Amino acid sequence: MRRHARRLLWLMMVLTSLFTIAGCSISLAKIRKVDMPQEDALRVNWRNYHTYCLGNYAMLFELKGDKTIRKDDGWREVTSDQMALSCANFLIYSSPVMQLLGQNDETFGYLIYNYHDGVSALIIDPRTIHLFYHEHPKGP
């Protein structure tokens, strides 16, 4: 029995070490305020990007090319001028234009969102980031 317990303890220590090492190697993508492009220009030129809308909260402009921004459920691809207009109208209190930067500060796209909410992104690999959107709790 003691031999089995030692093996189990050793296995748990190895697994814990591996998870700790893996957790330390995760890199956050940078999210920076930029002056250019401006919000109006992004909205007018939405067709130059892979453009997505998240309900009444955010609008994402992903650069076309070989880079990918993974998103959680709820993001809808903008497919028409009407959809782009209706998506753009909800942002009464929007953030400045935020640039999403991956490894080596490569631009993946731009984000406009409700400034009460939170945004974070992880670098998955040199060509992929995962965007997390955190809605601010509503209520008193």
Band (pLDDT 50/70/90 cuts) for residue 81 is confident
Domain ranges of the chain: 27-134
Phi, then psi, of 70 in degrees rounded to 5: -75, 145
Q: How many CB atoms lie within 10 A of CB 50?
A: 17
Whether the pLDDT of residue 109 is over 70: the answer is yes
- Percent of the chain topping pLDDT 70: 75
Phi, then psi, of 79 in degrees rounded to 5: -125, 0
Q: State mean pLDDT over 126-139.
A: 85
Residues 9-31: tens digit of each pLDDT: 665 666 665 555 555 557 999 99
Residues 31-62: tens digit of each pLDDT: 999 988 888 888 889 999 999 999 878 899 99
Between vectors from CA 126 to CA 120 and to CA 131, what angle results, nearest 5°?
A: 20
